[in-house]
Amino acid sequence: MPKQIPCLWFDGQAEQAAQHYTSIFPNSSIGDVTRYGPDMPPPMKEGDVLTVDFTLDGQPYTALNGGPQFQFNESISFQIVCKDQEESDRFYDRLLEGGEESMCGWLKDKFGVSWQVFPEELIQLTTDSDSGRAQRATQAMLKMRRIDMAEIKRAADSVPV
């Protein structure tokens, strides 16, 4: 299968976004940076960053300064499945800096990119073979902004009246 590389469209912030993301994720780096040449349409000008290739823990991405025509929205998001609550909180806090919270572990970072951040245990609880337990876990999750696994476990293990 050919390699798939997400390309993120920014309005002049591609390099700053790549620097921000590589500071958050381990084993990350910035690769090639290309620049616009002469005779560019406004608002671009010669020498401005066109693309930044970067890698987040082995996953390649490209950040593109394409202009103001397109904006990020929640119809596309990146999931970060973390090993535990501590790791989930760490990624959530860093990505949330300057951004805004949404529901169920979703957030929009300061560049407008949407992320879903949660511990892998969330998937186990919401897909539990005991459908009642899975439903209680799901209902608890749907009331949250940041995922709180202790609360979801309490809800999943509660005995219905």
Q: How many CB atoms lie within 10 A of CB 46?
A: 10
Q: How far apart are CA 95 and CA 110, in angstroms?
A: 8
Q: Is the pLDDT of residue 34 over 90?
A: yes
What's the mean pLDDT in 31-58? 91
Phi, psi of 89 (to 5 degrees): -60, -40
Domains in the chain, CATH or no CATH each: 1-70 (3.10.180.10), 72-161 (3.10.180.10)
Local structure of residue 75 (DSSP, 8 states) = T
Q: Is the pLDDT of residue 159 over 90?
A: no
Question: What pLDDT shows up at residue 42?
Answer: 72
> For the whole prediction, is pTM greater than 0.85?
yes
List pLDDT tens digits, range 98-146. Answer: 999 999 999 999 999 999 999 999 999 999 999 999 999 999 999 999 9
Contacts of 64 (CB under 8 A, 6+ apart): 7, 8, 9, 10, 14, 50, 51
